[in-house]
Amino acid sequence: DGGITQSPKYLFRKEGQNVTLSCEQNLNHDAMYWYRQDPGQGLRLIYYSQIVNDFQKGDIAEGYSVSREKKESFPLTVTSAQKNPTAFYLCARSRWRGGRGETQYFGPGTRLLVL
């Protein structure tokens, strides 16, 4: 699994519901990322975190929230404010050296569908 796991593989959200996607890594990497992938588009960064208890917004953070209470965990909550949440969500990890991230390693992804 490349040292990073995501669950669940598929997630269904009802209208107005908040849902949380799990991302866990076991290689003690500092940085973790959340991306959204839509058909025919590249990956877009939602949030990233370089260290515990700190995270930064990416290009499309509206309607999403994250936490980084532990180094190995970076859960993503899709809130009811996100009006078009149907997408494939990918989590990644990397070392953080010299003020920048290195090679990213991705999890298997979670596909979110709206009922």
Partner 1 sequence: KQEVTQIPAALSVPEGENLVLNCSFTDSAIYNLQWFRQDPGKGLTSLLLIQSSQREQTSGRLNASLDKSSGRSTLYIAASQPGDSATYLCVTSGGSYIPTFGRGTSLIVHP
Site for partner 1, rule CB under 8 A: 2, 6, 33, 35, 40-45, 48, 50, 56, 58-59, 88, 90, 92, 100-109, 111
Of the pair 45, 80, the CB lying nearest partner 1 is at 45
Of the pair 82, 94, the CB lying nearest partner 1 is at 94
Name the burial class of residue 105, with classes exposed (0-12), middle (13-18) and buried (19+) by CB atoms within 10 angstroms of its CB: middle
Which residues have C-beta within 8 Å of that of residue 109, sequence separation ≥ 6? Answer: 6, 9, 37, 88, 89, 90, 91
- We find the least distance from the C-beta atom of residue 35 to partner 1, in angstroms, to be 8
Of the pair 6, 82, the CB lying nearest partner 1 is at 6
Of how many residues is the chain composed? 115
- We find the least distance from the C-beta atom of residue 31 to partner 1, in angstroms, to be 9
Of the pair 43, 114, the CB lying nearest partner 1 is at 43
Name the burial class of residue 95, with classes exposed (0-12), middle (13-18) and buried (19+) by CB atoms within 10 angstroms of its CB: middle
- We find the least distance from the C-beta atom of residue 40 to partner 1, in angstroms, to be 7
